[in-house]
Structure 1
Amino acid sequence: MKIAAFSVHSQPHIGVVQEESAISLTLLGGNRFPLCVKTFIEKSEELLPLAESLIEQRDNDDAVFPISDVKILPPIPSPEKIICVGLNYIDHCRETGMEPPASPVIFSKYANAIVGHHDAVEIPINSNEVDFEAELAIVIGKEAKHVSEEDANDYVFGYTIMNDISARDLQFKDGQWSRGKTADTFAPTGPVIVTKDEAGDPHNLSISLELNGEIMQDSNTNNLIFTIPQIISFLSQSMTLRPGDLIATGTPPGVGMGRSPKLWLKDGDRMSITIEKIGTLSNYVKG
């Protein structure tokens, strides 16, 4: 199931995306469904079967909207945590001139960075070297602490797409990555959350990024250095993961800083990230 937050004529809905349609659970189920996707995730054991039943039994199309008629919103606009894994594809390590890490390299973004499908990525006034990074993101489904790798999948609700936008000049000037990674609009996310049953094997999904129609990144999640169970277990030894937390799993090769000459985002650029089983996240750049 592909869960989405969207608005129709400025009215918020939570719903399910099927092909080119958005089905409103808000209209089908009324107050049985929260408008907050994070709350939906917390109650997913009850609400997912209810959603499936209502969609199967609907007898009219009043709750169905063409995707072109809705505004897709960030699925989780204010997660408690946005955790990112750096240097998690070997070829990306090589293009950045860094050695593959012995353990996951962790940094964070904040909620100010979250924007949705078709929203603008804004170039900060203090940066001239803004880069793109296509990433598969894990959506945590229930509280996780001291989780083993063997049990880690039990704590996953599903997956979404994140573009880990990075101001490289700020990132490397500071010596740590926070300021360069979490400027406003630097975490486009969405367009949907695909439940783990529909996603299938998350370690065998094609992942690509197009910039102005040209493919920049083209890989597969089977090239991850640290797997999703390893990442979840590693993090949960130090911090309690909660429903709706987002974990971006790293980017494959092809980013702007790894090219010769280097390629930085500019006003008017358009980016589209496609991950198999999830869909396409598109954003434009505002300078």
Structure 2
Amino acid sequence: MKTITFDQIKTSSIALEFDELIPDEIYSWTEADFAKYEVPIGNSRFPITDFFDITVEGEAEGPADVKMILNGDLNRVKYIGCKMSAGDIVCNSSVDLHVGAEMSGGSILVNGDAAAHAGREMSGGYLEITGNTKEFTGASYIGEWRGMTGGEIVVGGNAGKQCGECLTGGKIHVKGNCDILAGIHMTKGIIEIDGDVNRWPGGQMKNGTIVIHGFLGRLLEGFVLEGIVEDPEDSGVVFPGKYIKYTGDIGLNGKGNLYLDAEANKEKLSTYGELDDEYTSIREYRNL
């Protein structure tokens, strides 16, 4: 195993671009190689050693044998782990845009927050962010129609708007709350949200599963109530408990599944009228 440690000595007001510094490209590098490398900053390049002390320990036969450790203030470092296929990256700070974008394998751990487009269009691997993420987590990029297709993203805090936009595979697990339009345009995959959701999850979804364990503020008109289900499952993943199930978005003939925790959202059910203890009298309930 080769461990490459980046200890920051200076920050930059313009973001450093780390897309070339992934295990796939640097598994054979020595400290002398890093001393010659210039990192992109805007439309220029500067020696990476102006910003980081870099220590290389051990040997690697390939990218899977590499562990990168990034220490310091990484708020102005973007594209960390972009397009990586193997290896491990640990970021001991919050990070800038596009962490884990287009990654196909390996793992990234961010001990902090992530800016927009975390896990953009990733097809495999594991991305964990212990803090919050901004908008477009696991989503497509501007002008594209396909977002995350595989792998797993775990957000320990809250996620911004359009989390999982155009999701076509993989799983996103948000342990906090989620802003508007989670899962918009999704066609496959799973989004699980432990906290509350602001408004409008699953807009124009065609397939896939969204599970909300907290309270949903507002549901779109294109979802049809199916009733109460217990322990729903998707792709071998079981979600224990009792849920209000909807399907949609019917505006696109969608067959996506949206599950709301029945206890957390019982206020919605109570607006329909008299309900028995098993919530069996709700077939006519819709979007209240």
Shorter-normalised TM range: under 0.3
Structure with larger Rg: 2
Report the TM-score, using the length of structure 1 for normalisation.
0.25
Q: Which has the higher helix share?
A: 1
